[in-house]
Homo-oligomer: A and B are copies of this chain.
Amino acid sequence: MASRVSEQHIDPWQLIAEHQAAHRQNGQFGAAASFIGTMRDFSERQNLSKMTLEHYPAMTGQYLEKLEQEAREQWPLQDCLIVHRVGDIYPGDAIVIIACWSAHRRAALDACNWLIEELKYRAPFWKQEFNPEGAHWVEENTNGHSSN
């Protein structure tokens, strides 16, 4: 499984394109759905200059694998990729990348949608935001149906 955390900056569209070129055979898949979460320079606080994403390494590794496996069990996916940034992140940087490939559209779309919600509410990552006033731990992800 290719799902993983990354300590390095990611170009999300290139990552997905390269994964597809390396792993998917042309003519075999009919649908690709993706979601990319990107750092904004504001949230409930303004002028964010940086964010640090802490995680629980042993647990996140296992958790991303489990998520990918559960998605593959629930939907007929041909491939699935989850990459989550950790470490220092700057405005405009990708935080999370999810891509799902399937024969027909519903599997890829529904799995992608499920994966981002699961990730938001269960995966052991924590955001600390920095702005001129200092460092601030984000207390919790806001409601699943309205938040970033």
Chain A residues within 8 Å of B, Cβ to Cβ: 11-14, 16-17, 20, 26-42, 91-92, 103-106, 108-109, 112-113, 116, 144-148
Contact = CB atoms under 8 A, between A and B. Distances in A.
A106 B103 CA distance: 24
> Nearest 7 A-B pairs (CB), nearest first?
A26-B92, A27-B91, A27-B41, A13-B17, A30-B148, A104-B148, A32-B36
Contact of A106 (B16, B39, B91, B147): B147
Nearest to A113: B109
A112 B39 CA distance: 20
A14 B11 CA distance: 11
Contacts of A92: 26-27
Given A106-B145, A148-B104, A38 B30 contact: yes
Nearest to A104: B148
B38 A147 contact: no
A35 B105 contact: yes
Nearest to A98: B33
A103 B148 contact: yes
A45 to B, nearest CB: 13
Contacts of A35: 31-34, 105, 108-109
A148 B116 CA distance: 22
A109 to B, nearest CB: 6
B31 A36 contact: yes
